[in-house]
């Protein structure tokens, strides 16, 4: 099988840590170019803009966007206008409306648009969905806690409007929740803690209702020291299912049933799954744009009470 040429747009931490290794391992794609103003990938042609890329490399018809969400829309639109298929890192945009606009443009042009949720490809998510399918879920507890200074060092955009703050990791939990929960949920309330020097929250609690009332509580913290705590617990009429390590490990009533430890070196399975899915969508001439996780985040901002938190300082940003 001949690999499809693909370009990465935005060569930051997520691109280097996940996208580049996943593409190197993919039989379906070959990294043929990058778009970055701060350095590309060694041995790969780099461009300063999407417009320059689509003009000078007409052989590349697939672009994967890893830029911060606040600056993603113009480049993604330019790619679609030029007849290129587009894959979007999560969250797919800075607003729901701009992603809807991209979805409509892709549909009009008969192009693939893939709004990705990498956590849905964690090792145990599919098994958890299958197990929950015939269960009555009584309650869900989400604990999503990590240290932003470890996982997002120096990433100023997270604290600017549109950067989501603690919801940048928490939207991963919501993407799993909406994938595996057999009933729909909607946000019913939230308390969000905003540092005085940031435009996005650093911690919070989000409550969600299902069809029959309160169902989900999410406890979110972006200053959690030590190992990250990415866990969801589902109390059902058939037992308790726990998804741990961001969906990597599944336990039922305390007994491990499936999964791989996320700490093992060399595991890029979530992003391997994304690019395998992209290849399937391209082959089928289809798109996938599921905005339910982003809708939950938007509703948390809409309904959430704003609470004050101490100013946040990241040593990597050299703030004083």
pLDDT in tens, 2-25: 899 999 999 998 999 999 999 999
What pTM was estimated for this model as a whole? 0.94
Tens-digit pLDDT profile for residues 78-127 = 999 999 999 999 999 999 999 999 999 999 999 999 999 999 999 999 99
Per-residue pLDDT tens digits of the chain, which is 320 residues long: 689 999 999 999 899 999 999 999 999 999 999 999 888 899 999 999 999 999 999 999 999 999 999 999 999 999 999 999 999 999 999 999 999 999 999 999 999 999 999 999 999 999 999 999 999 999 999 999 999 999 998 889 999 999 999 999 999 999 999 999 999 999 999 999 999 999 999 999 999 999 999 999 999 999 999 999 999 999 999 999 999 999 999 999 999 887 766 554 444 589 999 999 999 999 999 999 999 999 999 999 999 999 999 999 988 876 43
Q: Give the Cα separation of 296 and 131 in Å (integer).
A: 24
Give the residue from 282, 272, 283 showing the smallest Cα distance to 120.
272
Burial class (CB in 10 A: 0-12, 13-18, 19+), 101: middle
Euclidean distance between CA atoms 271 and 35, whole angstroms:
19
Q: Which of the residues are catalytic?
A: 90
């Amino acid at each position: 099988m001949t690999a499809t040429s693909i370009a990465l747009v935005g060569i930051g931490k997520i691109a280097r840590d996940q996208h580049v290794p996943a593409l190197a391992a993919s039989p379906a794609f070959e990294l043929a170019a990058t778009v970055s103003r701060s350095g590309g990938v060694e041995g790969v042609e780099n461009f300063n803009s999407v417009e320059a890329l689509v003009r000078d490399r007409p052989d590349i018809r697939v672009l994967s966007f890893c830029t911060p969400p606040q600056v993603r829309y113009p480049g993604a639109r330019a790619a679609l206008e030029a007849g290129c298929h587009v894959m979007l890192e999560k969250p797919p945009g800075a607003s729901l409306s701009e992603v809807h606009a991209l979805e409509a443009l892709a549909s009009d042009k008969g192009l693939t648009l893939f709004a990705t949720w990498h956590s849905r490809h964690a090792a145990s998510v599919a098994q958890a969905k299958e197990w929950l399918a015939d269960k009555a879920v009584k309650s869900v507890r989400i604990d999503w806690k990590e240290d932003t200074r470890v996982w997002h060092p120096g990433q100023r955009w997270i604290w600017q409007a549109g950067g989501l703050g603690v919801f940048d990791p928490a939207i991963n939990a919501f993407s799993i929740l909406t994938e595996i929960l057999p009933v729909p949920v909607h946000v019913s309330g939230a308390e969000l803690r905003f540092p005085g020097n940031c435009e996005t929250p650093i911690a919070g609690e989000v409550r969600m209702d299902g069809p029959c009332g309160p169902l989900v509580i999410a406890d979110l913290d972006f200053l959690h020291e030590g190992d990250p705590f990415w866990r969801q617990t589902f109390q059902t009429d058939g037992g308790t299912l726990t998804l741990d390590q961001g969906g990597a490990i599944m336990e039922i009533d305390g007994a491990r049933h499936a999964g791989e430890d996320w700490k093992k070196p060399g595991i890029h399975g979530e992003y391997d799954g994304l690019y395998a899915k992209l290849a399937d969508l391209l082959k089928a001439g289809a798109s996938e744009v599921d905005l339910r996780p982003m809708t939950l985040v938007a509703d948390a901002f809409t309904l959430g009470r704003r609470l004050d938190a101490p100013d946040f300082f990241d040593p990597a940003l050299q703030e004083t």
